[in-house]
């Protein structure tokens, strides 16, 4: 799914806004994108349309969305749709390839399964400290692949994991998952270099600490008793 062609289209294509996702709290625009004979659909979130958040006073939502894509690729998880930062009709913002989900899948049933792809998503959310993994942010496509979207409230320096994917809480990590974390630590200088334009120093320090903690504990994290563990609304 993440191909040079997809990224080139997102980076250089002409964006034409055709609608808005009205349930989103920040400006989330549906658009077509075209570069010559290559066409597609995307989500465009201009920084100018972001509302300030009291608990995320630093940085922009679009930057954290892009950082989530970058770390998904750096760790070879490939779980975030192709995403770029670029100028658009309403200024600089995040542009992400639209994923057509499999309409035959009932997300209300799907999210609670013991599924390897959901488990990978849960690990990814623990790494990026996702504070808003709703059911509707899960995007299983028609080929059977799972993607996740809406990563604007992530990477906080305080532990704020809030998700609907708690079915593995406290369970031991698999060796393949441990290897992902080991690679992240061994390559952290490269990860930090890739993300330091989009995250604060404190957020990068906390990111490394979270990965180290996951490795040392060897288990999926447990909900924080001092913080709501499930986003509201859950969908």
Alpha-carbon distance of 187 to 104, in angstroms, equals 39
Distance CA(31)–CA(42), nearest Å, equals 5
- The reported pTM is 0.95
Q: Express each pLDDT in 7-50 by its tens digit.
A: 999 999 999 999 887 676 678 999 999 998 889 999 999 999 88
Closest by CA to 127, choosing from 62, 80, 58, 83, is 80
- The verdict on residue 71 lying in a domain is yes
- Category of 96 on φ-ψ map: left (φ > 0), alpha (ψ -120 to 50) or beta: beta
Residue 171 domain flag? yes
Closest by Cα among 81, 78, 95, 83 to 31: 95
Is 152 part of a structural domain of the chain?
yes
The DSSP secondary structure of 190-229, one letter per residue, reads HHHHHHTTTS-HHHHHHHHHHHHHHHHH-BPPPPPTTS-S
Kindly state whether residue 196 falls inside one of the protein's structural domains.
Answer: yes
In-domain check, residue 231: no
pLDDT tens, per residue, the chain with 235 residues? 678 789 999 999 999 999 887 676 678 999 999 998 889 999 999 999 888 877 788 789 999 999 999 999 999 999 999 999 999 999 999 999 999 999 999 999 999 999 999 999 999 999 999 999 999 999 999 999 999 999 999 999 999 999 999 999 999 999 999 999 999 999 999 999 999 999 999 999 999 999 999 999 999 999 988 888 999 899 9
The answer to whether position 106 is within a domain reads yes
Count Cα atoms within 13 angstroms, Cβ side, for 57: 3
| pLDDT tens by residue, 208-219 | 999 999 999 999
Residue 142 zone, left/alpha/beta (φ > 0; ψ -120 to 50; rest): alpha
Can you give the pLDDT at residue 26? 77
Asked whether residue 133 is domain-assigned, the answer is yes
Q: How many domains does the chain have?
A: 1
Task: Give the residue numbers spanning the domain of 62.
Answer: 4-217
233 belongs to a structural domain: no
């Amino acid at each position: 799914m993440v191909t040079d062609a997809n990224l080139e289209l997102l980076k250089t294509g002409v964006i034409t806004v055709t609608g808005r996702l009205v349930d989103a709290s920040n400006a989330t625009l549906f658009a077509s994108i075209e570069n010559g004979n290559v066409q597609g659909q995307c989500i465009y979130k201009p920084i100018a349309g972001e509302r300030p958040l009291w608990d995320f006073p630093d940085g922009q939502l679009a930057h954290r969305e892009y950082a989530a894509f970058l770390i998904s690729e750096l760790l070879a998880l490939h779980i975030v749709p192709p995403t770029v930062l670029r100028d658009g009709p309403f200024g600089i913002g995040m542009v992400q390839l639209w994923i057509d989900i499999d309409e035959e899948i009932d997300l209300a049933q799907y999210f609670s399964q013991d599924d390897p792809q959901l488990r990978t998503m849960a690990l990814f959310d623990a790494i990026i400290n996702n504070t808003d993994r709703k059911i509707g942010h899960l995007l299983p496509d028609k080929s059977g692949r799972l993607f996740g979207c809406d990563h604007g409230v992530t990477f906080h320096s305080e532990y704020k994991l809030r998700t609907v994917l708690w079915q593995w809480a406290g369970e031991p990590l698999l060796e393949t998952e441990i290897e992902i974390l080991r690679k992240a630590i061994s390559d952290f200088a490269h990860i930090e270099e890739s993300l330091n334009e989009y995250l604060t120093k404190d957020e990068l320090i906390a990111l490394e600490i979270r990965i180290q903690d996951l490795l040392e504990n060897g288990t999926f994290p447990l909900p924080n008793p001092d913080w709501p563990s499930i986003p509201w609304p859950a969908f």
